[in-house]
Chain A
Amino acid sequence: MIKIANGIAPRLSIAILLAALAPPARADTAAPAPEPRNPFEQQAGAEIYNGVCQGCHMPDARGASGAGAYPALARDRNLEIAAYPVAIVLKGQKAMPGFGNYFTDEQIANVVNYTRPRFGNHYRGKVPPADVKAMR
């Protein structure tokens, strides 16, 4: 897990998005299924967290660890500056895939706004979708 000092998003990897939408022909995929942009119909922050994020960050955002780990988003001081989670969700980082092509600006704002005051975090203020758009 990365730790940041000054609230500025640290090195973000270049998002790898297209491959996520259309699995590369060379991978072991049974039926090539080109996915549309923004394939998730969940809109509310809670739905998005429970429907997608918790697959890695786990219920209650408690994280998990095996040979590798998923960081907890519970009591996570890195959520203080909203631009940081927005950037991570948009672009991804290390084992976290970028979701820029999976979610609209509204969806990303919703899930970030859902996470920051919850799970033992107490960060106030909401990110507007326009801020997400500006960071794409």
Chain B
Amino acid sequence: MSDPAQTPSRRSLFQMIGTVAGSAAMYHAMTVLGHAAESPFNGPIKLSAPPPGTSVLVLGAGIAGMVAAMELRDAGYRVQVLEYNNRPGGRNWSLYGGDVYTELGGATQTVRFDPGQYINPGPWRIPYHHQGILHYVNRLNVALEPFTQVNYNAYVHSTKMFGGKPVRYREVQADFHGHVAELLAKCTRQNALDQTLSKEDRELLLTALKDWGALDANYEYGKNLISAERRGYDIDPGGGLDPEPAPSEPRAMSDMLRSGLWAAIGAGHSYDMQSSIFQPKGGMGQIGKAFGKALEPLIQYNAKVIDIHQDAGGVTVAYVDSRSGGERRTATADWCVCTIPASILSQIPMNVGGPMRAAIDHLPYMASLKVGLQFKRRFWEEDECIYGGHTYTNQSNRVIGYPMWDYFSKGKGVLLGAYTFGREAFIAAARSPEQRIEDALECGARIHPQYRAEYECGVAVAWHRVPWALGCAGEWSDEGREQHYNNLCALDGRIILAGEHASRLAAWQEGSVTSALDAVERLHKRVMNA
């Protein structure tokens, strides 16, 4: 959420409206929603049988590497996977009680969560249109449950507005939409849109605005039972001789604008954040685990790749034990699918052409932080009726995410206490895990005063410190894509790259899947034409 801006210009006002409602939606008010774009995933791939004995080395056992390994194996290739970690999944990863995580610099955290509790330090949600990753989730029999992106009863919070008190998301959305609708209705009725819309359309627009913004008969947004149906009541309707319902008081338009709170209510509007969204039961890491099991004998763990060399005869990869270093070993194959993140690959000698090398060297990785906090009781549910979803704040923790499983269970729960990018995440990476947790507690306690009394333990993952990733995800610019993306993805001799970084779905597992499938198909075609 951005800080309060100065009084916004007309233009920035409409930009805000665009952010919140979608510009087309505001302009035409009631245009039919656009048709969802087709997923690039076209169903399971089917590769013909390769020449007997054809071999492929897959580097990295994240989602991309394991999708590639599975499809190649199924087609009849001899497949070997080399993985730095002692587990499958890569960034697909959940932390449970008993897990030990050592970050770069040496700080070691032992997770002390109770059984059944966990945090996803990396991926946590799968939008319904990510049909590629969903295909493998189903193929591997990983159980899914709903992920709640938007919770109308969670909070939006700014330390600078409303006495620093959090405000319910529901109220912010109702007030922002209501005031915008009222303004636009006023413009329409004062003939400001006569050049733009026909008379008939203007009348339809007024009807739509009344409905969309919860306006009264005079096209005004105010304290009444119409707006209460959106923003909630001071006294909720009840039964029998309960008191009569009483509406709540809307906040002023300028407060809405100046607070910057409007920025948070767009969170669920983008294509990737729209319902339905899913999460694997028991943690996102269940997908990686299931993949690992299905590929068991093929994956060699604790193998740190240090050199990749191709020549006319094949590909030779040198690696050492990632724990002890020691003796240099080699693996060879006819072909290589490399899914090592570009952040790390930029440091590994590999004889590919200049264009691919330039592409790899071009890509820095984003900063990101997640903090998991275990509390003795689920006070957000018990005291505040918040079941899943997120609270947004202008503080350095940015987000509080509520657990989206085991609702109403008596006992403990783990909150996502911070989820940040950019500035906040850079600063967090420079701090110790204990400092990151303390900061998340300090911020959270301003929203939920129960924090300090109920807190038990936590874990903090700053992605630039993750030894096998060196960052959250590739940070492509438009110019970078233009210049380097095709070169990154092109087959270079016997080597092809795949992974999140080799996709147009930055920081999504769907990018890893579609990238791996595309790489495998192109590689296979090359093999069959050899």
Check A32 against B477 for contact (C-beta < 8 Å): no
Q: Is the interface of A mostly helix, strand, loop or mixed?
A: loop
Q: How far is the CB of B138 from chain A (nearest CB, A)?
A: 21
Give Cα A24 to B368, complex, Å: 13
Confirm or deny: A128 has a beta carbon within 8 angstroms of a beta carbon on chain B: no
Residue of A nearest to B503 (CB): A26
Chain B residues positioned under 8 Å from A50 (CB to CB): 430
Check B467 against A67 for contact (C-beta < 8 Å): yes
Partner of A55, one of B272, B362, B465, B477: B465
Check A55 against B365 for contact (C-beta < 8 Å): no
Partner of B267, one of A16, A21, A32: A32
B372-398 interface code vs A (CB 8 A; 1 in, 0 out): 000000000000000000101000001
Confirm or deny: A130 has a beta carbon within 8 angstroms of a beta carbon on chain B: no
Check B467 against A16 for contact (C-beta < 8 Å): no
Q: How far is the CB of B285 from chain A (nearest CB, A)?
A: 16
Chain B residues positioned under 8 Å from A4 (CB to CB): none
Give Cα A12 to B96, complex, Å: 41
Interface residue total, chain B, C-beta cutoff 8 A: 68
Chain A residues positioned under 8 Å from B475 (CB to CB): 16, 19-20, 24, 97
Confirm or deny: A126 has a beta carbon within 8 angstroms of a beta carbon on chain B: no
Q: Which of B1, B364, B465, B480 has the most chain A CB atoms closer than 10 A to its own CB?
A: B364
Check A96 against B423 for contact (C-beta < 8 Å): no
Residue of B nearest to A59 (CB): B105
Confirm or deny: A25 has a beta carbon within 8 angstroms of a beta carbon on chain B: yes
Check A16 against B422 for contact (C-beta < 8 Å): no
Confirm or deny: B200 has a beta carbon within 8 angstroms of a beta carbon on chain A: no
Check B505 against A26 for contact (C-beta < 8 Å): yes
**Chain A contacts with B in 1-58, Cβ cutoff 8 A:** 1, 11, 13-14, 16-21, 23-36, 39-40, 50-56, 58
Stretch in contact with the other chain, from B170-178, B293-301, B342-350: B342-350
Give the size category of A's interface with B: 35 or more
Chain B residues positioned under 8 Å from A56 (CB to CB): 104, 429, 464-465, 470
Check B263 against A32 for contact (C-beta < 8 Å): yes
Confirm or deny: A125 has a beta carbon within 8 angstroms of a beta carbon on chain B: no
Check A11 against B270 for contact (C-beta < 8 Å): no
Check B423 against A40 for contact (C-beta < 8 Å): yes
Check B264 against A31 for contact (C-beta < 8 Å): yes
Chain A residues positioned under 8 Å from B365 (CB to CB): 95, 97
Give Cα A53 to B464, complex, Å: 11
Question: Given known contacts A19-B476, A34-B2, A55-B464, is B430 in contact with A26 (CB within 8 Å)?
Answer: no
Check B2 against A64 for contact (C-beta < 8 Å): no
Confirm or deny: A94 has a beta carbon within 8 angstroms of a beta carbon on chain B: yes
Residue of B nearest to A11 (CB): B361
Confirm or deny: B185 has a beta carbon within 8 angstroms of a beta carbon on chain A: no
Question: Given known contacts A16-B476, A55-B462, A95-B470, is B423 in contact with A102 (CB within 8 Å)?
Answer: yes
A-B contact pairs, 12 of them (CB 8 A): A25-B270, A27-B473, A30-B419, A31-B263, A31-B399, A33-B2, A51-B427, A55-B429, A56-B464, A66-B84, A96-B364, A97-B367
Residues of B within 8 A of A (CB): 1-2, 19, 84, 104-106, 123-125, 263-264, 266-267, 270, 272, 304-305, 322, 340, 342-344, 346-347, 361-367, 390, 392, 398-399, 401, 419, 421-423, 426-431, 462, 464-471, 473, 475-477, 479-480, 483, 504-508
Q: A16-B476, A29-B507 are in contact. List 7 more A-B contacts (CB 8 A).
A: A19-B476, A31-B390, A32-B263, A34-B2, A56-B429, A66-B467, A97-B364
